[in-house]
Amino acid sequence: MAQPFRLSRGGRVDRTRPIVFAFNGKPVHGYAGDTVASALLANGIHLVGRSFKYHRPRGILSHGPDEPSALLSVDRGPGRIDPNNRASVVEARSGLRTTSQNHWPSLEFDVGAVNDLLSPVFVAGFYYKTFMWPRKFWDRVYEPFIRAAAGLGKAPTQADPDRYANRHAHCDVLVVGAGPAGLAAALAAARTGKRVILADEGAEPGGSLLHDTTSQIDGRPAADWLTETLAELDGRENVILLPRTTAFGYYNHNHVAMTERVTDHLTSAAGQAPRERLWQVRAGEVVLAGGAHERPLVFADNDRPGILLAESLRVFLNRYGVAPGRKLVFATSGASAYRAALDARAAGLDVTLVDLRLESDCGPELAQLRGAGVEVLTGHTVVGSKGRKRVTGLIVAPVGSDGRCGGRRILPCDCVGMSGGWTPAVHLFSQSRGKLRYDDAIDAFVPSISAQAERSAGAARGIYDLAACLTDGFAAGAAAAGSDERQAFKATETLTGFQPVRIMPTDANPTKVRAFVDYQNDVTAKDIKLAVREGFQSIEHVKRYTTTGMATDQGKTSNMNALGIVAGQLDKALPAVGTTTFRPPYTPVTFGALVGPARHALFDPIRTTPIHEWAEAHGALFENVALWRRAWYFPKAGEDLHAAVARECKAVRENVGIFDASTLGKIEIVGRDAAEFMNRLYINPWTKLAPGRCRYGLMLKEDGYILDDGVVARVSDECFHVTTTTGGAARVLGHMEDYLQTEWPELEVFLTSTTEQWAVIALQGPKARDVIAPLVDGIDLSPEAFPHMAMRTGMICGVPTRLFRVSFTGELGFEINVPSDHARAVWEAVFEAGQAHGITPYGTETMHVLRAEKGYIIVGQETDGTVTPDDVGMAGMIPKAKKDFVGKRSLARPDVVASGRKQLVGLMTDDPKLVLDEGAQIVADTNQPIPMRMLGHVTSSYWSANCGRSIALALVEGGRERMNGHLHVTTPDGFTRVTVCEPVFFDVQGERINA
Amino acid sequence: MLLIACPNCGKRPETEFRCGGQAHIARPADPMTVDDGGWSEHLFVRANPKGVHAERWCHIHGCGRWFNALRDTISDRFIETYPIGEQPKSGVKPGTILGTSSATQSEARA
């Protein structure tokens, strides 16, 4: 319980509730309210990781979401391991196991640190320059090496056992950030009665007020104002206050995505609470009050553990009651670090402050700090640091206005707080497509022109004074809520004097100095200068070449320093260089939150037919077809796919098979102009089709390529029963609606999807009629009265039916359409009646083989969106007299009428036992040089038990002119010879279908 | 995610809609009289303006009706939605580049 660096008092941690968690296997003690970072620091642990590229020892830089270095793997139990968590935002609690990353064998001794010695080699663009020659090294040598070196942390290997929720919300005003400006904005908006959501990424709302122990607001301590304000907001029914909620994406039309971390901070998750909740908020107005990020100073070895941002050091002192060191040096070019130094001094620590600014450029903060007995060295630069796994000293030197350094001096210390000024967090504003403006006075980009109903407030737009932030926030909140109310706040003055600095002046050889700009990706000032020297001028190019700003922190601490260095090298003004693009997410988001409940059974809807459970009970295996589960085949004991399908195929041709065709798309087309509508959409003629008759219909897109097919029955003069492919149902209905609504609104036609209403029992085989004869009422089943391609209405098993005499097998066949609710009963009755005739249930695989034996195409298998009716031998269906239909004009396009198009043919292998691979390529001559000229591909290929050999369909260039010729098809063992044939393998005369 | 005002149902999120590409491209009354160049133009050539664009949208997971919309491709702001077969009421011409001056804020709130 030692916590040697915990101050004896102060901070917002709960000292009555001790906690203990593990860091690299050792217990770390802290208090409720600590982050992992603050608890580590309370125990004097600064070394928490190794850097990405050079494996340099790294510590905790920041207290918040901008932390680039202190990235830990957090283990919350089996399946709950998460890499790359920022120690500064993970709430410490008992039971957590945290480990440092990117080292071997240990954090203390890391072999990879040799990279640091080799750093002259690993310059900007190292990969681009190194892994180029020889070509044969790309796959075997370079790629494995790069893959091994890439990535930080270890991805979890187990499935995530946690639950994630997804919530949509609407509000009048969304306030992002609950610091002074955000709180004031929420207060103003809430008082108008409008619906307000206030989201803050921290565990506790308050922002900078949580560590401001000295300021007064309207005559009382800032902490008291915070308590009162939160109480007021909490008490209002029109306010939703969301702590631990990060707004990470600002999308179109004020759609803001946020993640709420619900249970990670709890030792035991409460009941069924989700781990995280994704909020998708549609806000009338948005107030962005996300504050600002502090910039590090760029000097040699500025990355040693123990070197923190000055304000973060202040946060650890005041909010967590932790002294990150006992002998502190602050290095700054502005006033804000003086406040941190004063607070450190007040905590009884040994403090020195180094300010780059000349004495005359400093404000009242100088006298204030000196008055507190602190040594302040003005006009001093930092030229380096001492130490390795922990800073032991800061090397400083006086610097004149000419930039020349005087004699060096080492300031011994165990902790450094640095401040290079502030960068407003404009991430969400930029994501909303707002335009930034460079503000010279604060050396930062600030929001300028809004693209959406949004406004920024406080430090997020470069206002740093506390009273000004509160007043600005209140005005923004009121305006967002449509109110003219304004309130002027009084608060302790915040000193904000600041002198921008890019790289700290140094007396060292700049080519030897390693001053880090991007801590997470190990990019130094030298790398950025090199990139510019090598010709990269666009900041977007420099970013990608050097990888600065491309790590998971997206350069929150590094971007402005990098921009400044590029501008300096190019001798351009900063706004002329511009910024890189800000993209979501603002901070990393778990996949779980994005996926939400859409896992397993909820990933996609699963559609099943009324026969599904019967098929399950009869041992069917299923395959996915679009969202449907379809019975694939019905194996008997000991049968594999091939044995079962061979048996099913023979049973259909010899006796009778029963097949569930309920997934076929069905559309009822009714209305005065139904036939005319059909004429316009299909290549076929419909006017003269008599009620009670069916026709195979083929539908094209306007480009002339096959869209879908299916049998259509004319129920009456003004009613068609259309069927579509299983996967094409929605697409076809959409296609029809599009034309009906937008091209031919004058047609009186109504389209209704009836896919789910009609179940379809296909009965196929020579004995099909015998099976249903005793079950059907009111329909004459004789071949004369009920020929192939007819449809009759009547009753079956006492249930109304549309009975189709159609066949997708080439056999005598019926498709019994019955209302879905009755389908299971009818199916069972038919199956029972079929027992005497050897009825066999069959699945989609047998259906595929049987139709291929007959050369019937499947849209999407024989066609691929570039296939015309003529390509599959169906041009004859188009009546010469038909003037127009969708796609007709395109059939006269030059490329469609050109010779040499791929045409549907059959293929027979020399070896009748060899079943070709579907998709296999076809060539004419195997001796031609590579790359060979490919003539087409195999579209369907099966073993046909009925033919006693393999069969295949293929699309082959000029196929119909190659009849009986030989071609060669690729197989895993080389080419095999095939003979081109008509695409029909069984009952070539087509007599069986009319039985 | 866009917020789109269906003329029948009101404002709904983008996921309920399907975009049907450029609007006001009428299918020729007699396509067989159109020459190859004209037909390929009709089939394949579409405007891709920076600025105001007239598009077809279908409220596929709502009323199922098609309608037209004017959308600014720079800001993704919808200027108006209007029924199939009609012309926009706002009088804003497709291809117009709307200003990004201070007017944008009030427009964004419209």
Report the complex ipTM.
0.94
Check if A78 contacts B (Cβ < 8 Å).
Answer: no
d(CA A436, CA A408) in angstroms, rounded, equals 40
B31 vs A888: CB contact, 8 Å cut-off? Answer: yes
Residue A175: is its pLDDT beyond 50?
A: yes
End-to-end CA distance of chain B, in Å?
17
Check if A453 contacts B (Cβ < 8 Å).
Answer: yes
The pLDDT, as a whole number, for residue B102 is 40
Helix (H) or strand (E) holding A123: none
What residues have CB less than 8 Å from A587, skipping those under 6 apart? A65, A89, A201, A246, A248
Mutation pick from B17, B76, B79 vs chain A, by most beta carbons of A within 10 Å, is B76
The partner residue sitting opposite B36, judged by closest CB among A255, A433, A893, is A893
As separate numbers, helices (DSSP H) first and strands (DSSP E) second, chain A gives 25, 50
Check if A449 contacts B (Cβ < 8 Å).
Answer: yes
Residues A282-304: what's their mean pLDDT? 97
pLDDT in tens, A526-569: 999 999 999 998 999 999 999 999 998 889 999 999 999 999 99
The pLDDT, as a whole number, for residue A269 is 64
Residue A62: is its pLDDT beyond 60?
A: yes
The pLDDT, as a whole number, for residue A270 is 60
pLDDT in tens, A450-465: 999 999 999 999 999 9
pLDDT in tens, A813-829: 999 999 999 999 999 99
Residue A383: helix, strand or coil by DSSP?
A: strand
d(CA A424, CA A445) in angstroms, rounded, equals 7
Residues A880-887: what's their mean pLDDT? 95
Task: Specify which residues A720 forms β-bridges with.
Answer: A669, A714
d(CA A686, CA A690) in angstroms, rounded, equals 9
Phi-psi region of A403 (alpha: psi -120 to 50; beta: other; left: phi over 0): left
Mark which residues 247-306 of A lie under 8 Å from B by CB: 251-255, 280, 282, 285
Residue in chain A nearest B43 by alpha carbon: A703
What residues have CB less than 8 Å from A935, skipping those under 6 apart? A902, A922, A923, A924, A956, A957, A967
Distances (CA, A) of B107 to A28, A86, A173, A344, A450: 55, 40, 18, 50, 10
Residue A1: is its pLDDT beyond 60?
A: no
Nearest to A504 by CA among A496, A513, A512, A495: A513
Nearest to A39 by CA among A68, A63, A58: A63
B75 vs A737: CB contact, 8 Å cut-off? Answer: no
- Mode of pairing for the β-strands spanning A706-716 and A694-700: antiparallel
Minimum distance, in Å, between the CA of residue B75 and any CA atom of chain A: 7
A827 within 8 A of A761, measured Cβ to Cβ: yes
Helix (H) or strand (E) holding B37: helix B36-44
Check if A482 contacts B (Cβ < 8 Å).
Answer: no
A435 to chain B: which residues are within 8 Å by CB?
100
Check if A88 contacts B (Cβ < 8 Å).
Answer: no
Q: Where are the beta strands (DSSP E) in A321-443?
A: 327-332, 350-355, 375-378, 380-387, 391-398, 409-412, 415-419, 422-424, 435-439
Beta-carbon pairs below 8 A across chains A and B:
78
A699 within 8 A of A735, measured Cβ to Cβ: yes
pLDDT in tens, A779-790: 999 999 999 999
d(CA A95, CA A77) in angstroms, rounded, equals 9
Helix (H) or strand (E) holding A650: helix A641-654
The reported pTM is: 0.91
Nearest to A447 by CA among A459, A457, A461: A461
Minimum distance, in Å, between the CA of residue B14 and any CA atom of chain A: 10
A453 vs B56: CB contact, 8 Å cut-off? Answer: no
- Burial level of A819, CB count in 10 A (0-12/13-18/19+)? middle
Residue A835: is its pLDDT beyond 50?
A: yes
A252 vs B3: CB contact, 8 Å cut-off? Answer: yes
B43 vs A890: CB contact, 8 Å cut-off? Answer: yes
The pLDDT, as a whole number, for residue B97 is 87
pLDDT in tens, A934-967: 999 999 999 999 999 999 999 999 999 999 999 9
A285 vs B109: CB contact, 8 Å cut-off? Answer: yes
pLDDT in tens, A188-242: 999 999 999 999 999 999 999 999 999 999 999 999 999 999 999 999 999 999 9
The partner residue sitting opposite B76, judged by closest CB among A252, A738, A742, is A252
What residues have CB less than 8 Å from A120, skipping those under 6 apart? none
Minimum distance, in Å, between the CA of residue B27 and any CA atom of chain A: 7
User: Phi/psi of residue A778, each to 5°?
Assistant: 80, 10
d(CA A670, CA A687) in angstroms, rounded, equals 14
Instruction: Encode chain B (110 residues) as per-residue pLDDT tens digits.
Output: 999 999 999 999 999 999 999 999 999 999 999 999 999 999 999 999 999 999 999 999 999 999 999 999 988 999 999 999 999 999 898 888 886 544 444 444 44
The partner residue sitting opposite A889, judged by closest CB among B14, B31, B58, is B31
User: A914 pLDDT band (50/70/90 cuts)?
Assistant: very high
Minimum distance, in Å, between the CA of residue B31 and any CA atom of chain A: 6
The pLDDT, as a whole number, for residue A680 is 98
d(CA A319, CA A94) in angstroms, rounded, equals 20
User: Phi/psi of residue A446, each to 5°?
Assistant: -130, 155
B30 vs A890: CB contact, 8 Å cut-off? Answer: no
Q: C-alpha angle with apex A696: A830 to A680, nearest 5 degrees?
A: 135
User: A403 pLDDT band (50/70/90 cuts)?
Assistant: confident
Residue A849: is its pLDDT beyond 50?
A: yes
User: Which is higher by pLDDT, A114 or A186?
Assistant: A186
Tokens representing residue A580 in the block? 């890189």
Q: Find how far residue B80's CA is from the centre of its chain.
A: 9
Helix (H) or strand (E) holding A200: none
B109 vs A884: CB contact, 8 Å cut-off? Answer: no
- Mode of pairing for the β-strands spanning A444-449 and A454-456: unpaired
Minimum distance, in Å, between the CA of residue B50 and any CA atom of chain A: 15
pLDDT in tens, A327-380: 999 999 999 999 999 999 999 999 999 999 999 999 999 999 999 999 999 999
Residue A150: is its pLDDT beyond 80?
A: no
d(CA A774, CA A797) in angstroms, rounded, equals 9
pLDDT in tens, A635-680: 999 999 999 999 999 999 999 999 999 999 999 999 999 999 999 9
A880 to chain B: which residues are within 8 Å by CB?
none
What residues have CB less than 8 Å from A188, skipping those under 6 apart? A473, A474, A475, A476, A477, A478, A481, A483, A485, A487
- Residue A374: CB atoms within 10 A of its CB come to 19
Name every residue in B having a CB less than 8 A away from some CB of A: 1-3, 13-14, 18, 20, 26-27, 30-32, 34, 36, 39-40, 43, 56, 58, 60, 64-66, 75-76, 84-85, 100-102, 104-105, 108-109
A315 within 8 A of A206, measured Cβ to Cβ: no
Q: DSSP state, A655?
A: S
A737 to chain B: which residues are within 8 Å by CB?
58, 64, 66
B26 vs A743: CB contact, 8 Å cut-off? Answer: yes
> Prior bond to A931 cis, omega within 30?
yes
The pLDDT, as a whole number, for residue A118 is 80
The pLDDT, as a whole number, for residue A119 is 80
A734 vs B104: CB contact, 8 Å cut-off? Answer: no
d(CA A626, CA A664) in angstroms, rounded, equals 11
B102 to chain A: which residues are within 8 Å by CB?
449
Check if A734 contacts B (Cβ < 8 Å).
Answer: yes
Mutation pick from A253, A751, A895 vs chain B, by most beta carbons of B within 10 Å, is A253
The pLDDT, as a whole number, for residue A151 is 75
d(CA A52, CA A73) in angstroms, rounded, equals 14
A252 vs B66: CB contact, 8 Å cut-off? Answer: no
Minimum distance, in Å, between the CA of residue A602 and any CA atom of chain B: 18
| Residue A635 one-letter amino acid | P
d(CA A775, CA A829) in angstroms, rounded, equals 8
B103 to chain A: which residues are within 8 Å by CB?
none
The pLDDT, as a whole number, for residue B100 is 53
Averaged pLDDT score across all residues of chain A? 95
The partner residue sitting opposite A743, judged by closest CB among B27, B101, B104, is B27
Residue in chain A nearest B34 by alpha carbon: A889
Minimum distance, in Å, between the CA of residue B17 and any CA atom of chain A: 12
The partner residue sitting opposite B104, judged by closest CB among A253, A449, A703, is A449
pLDDT in tens, A721-730: 999 999 999 9
Place of tokens 């919808």: B78
Minimum distance, in Å, between the CA of residue B105 and any CA atom of chain A: 6
Check if A889 contacts B (Cβ < 8 Å).
Answer: yes
d(CA A900, CA A136) in angstroms, rounded, equals 39
Minimum distance, in Å, between the CA of residue A722 and any CA atom of chain B: 20
Nearest to A176 by CA among A458, A449, A451, A421: A458
The partner residue sitting opposite A451, judged by closest CB among B40, B65, B108, is B108
A884 vs B40: CB contact, 8 Å cut-off? Answer: no
A947 within 8 A of A956, measured Cβ to Cβ: no
- Kindly report which listed range (A32-41, A527-536, A838-847) carries the lowest average pLDDT score: A527-536
Phi-psi region of A835 (alpha: psi -120 to 50; beta: other; left: phi over 0): alpha
> Prior bond to A205 cis, omega within 30?
no
The pLDDT, as a whole number, for residue A153 is 85
Task: Specify which residues A330 forms β-bridges with.
Answer: A353, A417
Residues A590-598: what's their mean pLDDT? 95
CA atoms within 13 A of residue A709's CA, in its CB half-sphere: 22
pLDDT in tens, A492-529: 999 999 999 989 999 998 788 899 999 999 999 999 99
